[in-house]
Each structure stands twice: as structure tokens, then as C-alpha cells.
């Protein structure tokens, strides 16, 4: 099975690798036609507005829809360069209690750097016909789901079976954010993927958990089941991102068999995590 670096060459072929590279190269140009939402934290989200409500704005990004509270938007830069100020900064005397209260509270940020071998799963026979071949990577803090990435695109590599090798490439994956969470598009580079998560929670020491899952239900009624997981303690801070290094190793995990091929030794897939 391929590793993170070679995943697309073997999965879609060389043509698909260049197609993915072209999509990544053109992505900034495509997103530039949308609006830019400048948050009070200084972060920026680029996308096309879908619903502009009184309290929230739903934005279509290349990696799914995000719901942004208006209370967190400082200004909106239109596709034509025009600007709409949503929450103007307060002008108060320096050193007063009002000045201290007007300072935006920095949001904790997680940067998850994933390297090593990719996770995969295969279904054969009757299981392949009725299974939802989606794979999901879920991220939790103290067992509260804050973000997930779902890969629904399968690999045409095994005769008589359905294979899905997890990917963060834009043509393969969809991103979903928890309440109050902001996700930047994944940064896919040779040999690694970088996930950036803006959190709504306060700074504190938390338990971070990553889990690869399969859907034991169907697309309309999902029942996600953990197959491989890793966890570590993290210290969330408002002044600097918390960087987590993740190394993945398949161990003895394989899809094999003479008459009845199936996944074997899935439990040997290891996710090792450490904080920088």
C-alpha cells in the first residue's frame, strides 16, 4: 500500500496526481472570486456566501460549508474589493477598563501535522455491495467532536472489492466543523497533511483524540465506528498555536485472503502523537 507521499500516484495514476496538483494551484484563483471574511482574531475565510442571516453567514468553501457567527466577523471584503464593516473596533482611552474589555480574546488554535502511512479499508463480496465505503477522520477534545474529514472517493485498484485509502486532497475529502470551530483548508504537501483548527473553547489543558472510522450504517443514517485511534494531552493557548506532530504506521494491517479476502490486523495501525 502507498504511503502519504505516494498515495495519489498509485491511487489515481500519474494523471490524477497532476490533476490534484492543478486543482491546488488553481484553488486560490477560484476562491478569490468569493468574499473574504476577516475575523476579529485576524484569521481569514474565503468563500461564496450561501445564506446571509441576521446572526450567521453560511459560506461555501472548497472544503464544505462553514457557518460563521456575525459577532466574530470584523469586516467582509467583497469580490469587487468593496468592504463592509460588521463589527467596528471600539475607540477608547488606553489604560481604562473599557480598553481592556475591548481587546479581542485570542482564540486557541490547533495545528495537526500528519505524516507516515495512510489509513485504508477494503470491502469484498456481499459487504462491498451493501457497505458505505466512506472513511472519516474525527478530532475530539475531551470527547467532544470538534472537526471531521470524510473521504467518500474509492480506489479502483482491487478486482471484486472496494478500497478506500484516506486522503486530504480537495477532490476526495469534505470537512465538517463543530459548533464555533473554524477550519482552514487542509494543506497537502508531499509526505504530509496539515490541519489548522480555530477553537471556540477557552485556553486549558485538554485531551486530544484522533480516530479513523468506517460507517456501519448508511449514508442517510451513519453509524461511525472507530478502527484506529490515538490521543495525547495538549495545552491550549491564545497567544500561540498548539502544534501536534502525528506519525502513522500500518504495522501488519492488510487486505488479503485466498477465497475470502478481508481486512486483517487493523488493530496494528498506530497513531503516535506528540506536542511540539
Q: pLDDT tens across 120-139, in order?
A: 999 987 777 788 999 999 99
Is 234 in the same domain as 166?
yes
Let me know if residue 22 belongs to a domain.
no
What pLDDT is attached to residue 26?
37
Distance CA 112, CA 272 (A): 12
Look over the chain and give the mean of its residue pLDDT values, rounded to a whole number. 80
Whether 171 and 262 share a structural domain: yes
Residue 209 has what pLDDT? 96
b/e per residue 159-190 (b: at least 16 CB within 10 A):
eebbbbbbbbbbebbebbbbeebbbbbbebee
User: Which residue segment(s) compose the domain that 190 sits in?
Assistant: 107-275
Same structural domain, 92 and 176: no
Give the separation between CA 169 and CA 89, rounded to whole angstroms: 38
Let me know whether 193 and 255 are in one domain. Answer: yes
Q: Does 250 share its domain with 121?
A: yes
- Domain membership flag for residue 112: yes
- One domain for residues 137 and 257: yes
Number of separate domains in the chain? 2
Stretches where the chain sits below pLDDT 70 are: 1-33, 62-63, 89-106, 201, 203
Pairwise CA distance, residues 228 & 231, whole Å: 11
pLDDT number for residue 101: 52
Residue 13 lies in a domain: no
Q: List the beta bridge partners of residue 244.
A: 112, 275
Are 164 and 64 in a shared domain? no
Residue 63 has what pLDDT?
62
CB neighbour list of residue 114: distance below 8 Å, 6 or more residues apart: 4, 192, 193, 194, 195, 246, 248
Give yes or no: residues 45 and 165 share one domain. no
Q: Which of 44, 70, 102 is the last residue of a domain?
A: 102
Strands (E), 92-178: 109-116, 120-124, 132-141, 144-151, 161-165, 173-177
Residue 4 placed within a domain = no
Residue 224 and residue 126 share a domain: yes
Backbone phi, then psi, for 255, in 5-degree steps? Answer: -120, 110
84 domain-assigned: yes
Residues 127 and 91 in one domain: no
pTM beyond 0.75, yes or no:
no
CATH number at residue 58: 2.30.30
Choosing from 74, 102, 130, the residue where a domain stops is 102
CB 44 within 8 A of CB 74: no
Q: What pLDDT score was predicted for residue 230?
A: 96
> Last residue of a domain, which of 57, 78, 102?
102
User: Does 161 lie in the same domain as 76?
Assistant: no
Kindly state whether residues 96 and 141 are assigned to the same domain: no
How does pLDDT run across 192-236, given as a tens digit for each residue? 999 999 987 676 889 999 999 999 988 778 899 999 999 999 999
Helix (H, G, I), strand (E, B) or coil at 164: strand
Amino acid at each position: 500500500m502507498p504511503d502519504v507521499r505516494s498515495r495519489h500516484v498509485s491511487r489515481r495514476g500519474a494523471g490524477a496526481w497532476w490533476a490534484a496538483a492543478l486543482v491546488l494551484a488553481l484553488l486560490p484563483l477560484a476562491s478569490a472570486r468569493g468574499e473574504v471574511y476577516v475575523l476579529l482574531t485576524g484569521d481569514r475565510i474565503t468563500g461564496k456566501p450561501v445564506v446571509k442571516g441576521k446572526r450567521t453567514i453560511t459560506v461555501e468553501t472548497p472544503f464544505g460549508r462553514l457557518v460563521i457567527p456575525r459577532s466574530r466577523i470584523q469586516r467582509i471584503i467583497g469580490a469587487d474589493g468593496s468592504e463592509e464593516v460588521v463589527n467596528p473596533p471600539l475607540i477608547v482611552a488606553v489604560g481604562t477598563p473599557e480598553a481592556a474589555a475591548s481587546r479581542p480574546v485570542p482564540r486557541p488554535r490547533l495545528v495537526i501535522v500528519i505524516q507516515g502511512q495512510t489509513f485504508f479499508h477494503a470491502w469484498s463480496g456481499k459487504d462491498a455491495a451493501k457497505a458505505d465505503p466512506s472513511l472519516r477522520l474525527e478530532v475530539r477534545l475531551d470527547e467532544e467532536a470538534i472537526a471531521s474529514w470524510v473521504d467518500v472517493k474509492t480506489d479502483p485498484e482491487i478486482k471484486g472489492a472496494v478500497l478506500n485509502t484516506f486522503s486530504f486532497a480537495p477532490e476526495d475529502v469534505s470537512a465538517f466543523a463543530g459548533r464555533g470551530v473554524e477550519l482552514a483548508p487542509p494543506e497537502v504537501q508531499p509526505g504530509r497533511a496539515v490541519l489548522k483548527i480555530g477553537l471556540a473553547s477557552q485556553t486549558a489543558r485538554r485531551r486530544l483524540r484522533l480516530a479513523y472510522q468506517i460507517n456501519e450504517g448508511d449514508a442517510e443514517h451513519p453509524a461511525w465506528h472507530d478502527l484506529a485511534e490515538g490521543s495525547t494531552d495538549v495545552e491550549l493557548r491564545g497567544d500561540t498555536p498548539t502544534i501536534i506532530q502525528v506519525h502513522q504506521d500500518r504495522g501488519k494491517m492488510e487486505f488479503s485472503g485466498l477465497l475470502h479476502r478481508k481486512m486483517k490486523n487493523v488493530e496494528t495501525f498506530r497513531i503516535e502523537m506528540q506536542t511540539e
